[in-house]
Amino acid sequence: MAISNIYLFLEILGTVAFAISGTVVGMRHGLDVFGVSVLAAITAVGGGIFRDLLLGNTPPSALKSPFFITLSIISSIVAMIGATVINKYQTGLTILKLSRFYNRLLLISDAIGLGIFTVLGIDAGISKGYIHNEFLIIFLGVLTGVGGGMLRDIVANQVPMIFRENIYALPCVIGGLLYVYTYDLFSRDTALILAVLFIVIVRIVTEERKWNLPSIGKM
């Protein structure tokens, strides 16, 4: 598979994953169909819009072409239909089990989007000629990865995940460094896949095991 095809596949997968995470959050807050769809689109393309603005790509690519916004809305609608069917025809599923199912769906979809968009954000910086400015391209990667989720949480009136105790942005930073420093050691797509897998796995494992960064406590 050509590199461009791999990038397109990952961007589509990341868009769908983030759209699903936005849908889950929107449904939990009781938003209507329009509100959930908007939240899904914001989650899916928000980080990329931040990235493009910093790189001087205006209007942002997500607004130049409606493909990814449309994809996020379609993904959200499909997810809402699926959730409605599950809720209506559940057999033997308690409220607790359903809650756990949606928690896991949110975790996995958010982790996939986080990993993919972090690395694609770094690659966007590299494509702009900033390959030797590690701080800038990793910052772009982290912003692309967490930006949509931050907007999602702010709109949903909750503290963004990146500011909670969860280990959220740290895997993006380490995964970004992994991508940058294996970029020349392996083929470009191999380094990309390794970095994405690292971020996704670390994010899921740390959440499942409840490994958190230290907290200074409430005042």
- Tens-digit pLDDT profile for residues 151-203: 999 999 888 888 875 788 899 999 999 999 988 888 888 899 999 999 999 99
Domain that includes residue 141, residue range: 3-208
pLDDT confidence band for 7 (50 / 70 / 90): confident
The number of distinct structural domains making up the chain is 1
Residue 216 is assigned to a structural domain of this protein: no
**Low-confidence winner among 32-46, 125-139, 181-195 (lowest mean pLDDT):** 181-195
Give Cα 61 distance to the centre of its chain. 17
With a cut of 90, say whether residue 21 has pLDDT above it: yes
Residue 214 lies in a domain: no
Q: What is the pLDDT at residue 2?
A: 46
Give the mean model confidence (pLDDT) for residues 129-150.
Answer: 93
Cβ neighbours for 193, distance < 8 A, ≥ 6 positions apart: 6
- Say if CB 45 and CB 69 are below 8 A apart: yes
Task: Classify residue 83: in a domain, yes or no.
Answer: yes
Q: Has residue 213 been placed in a domain?
A: no
Q: How far apart are CA 187 and CA 122, in angstroms?
A: 16
**Is the backbone peptide bond immediately before 59 cis, with ω within 30 degrees of 0?**
yes
- 219 part of a folded domain: no
Backbone angles phi, psi at 78, to 5 degrees: -60, -40
Q: What is the mean pLDDT of residues 4-21?
A: 88
Residue 215 lies in a domain: no
Predicted local confidence at residue 1, as pLDDT: 41
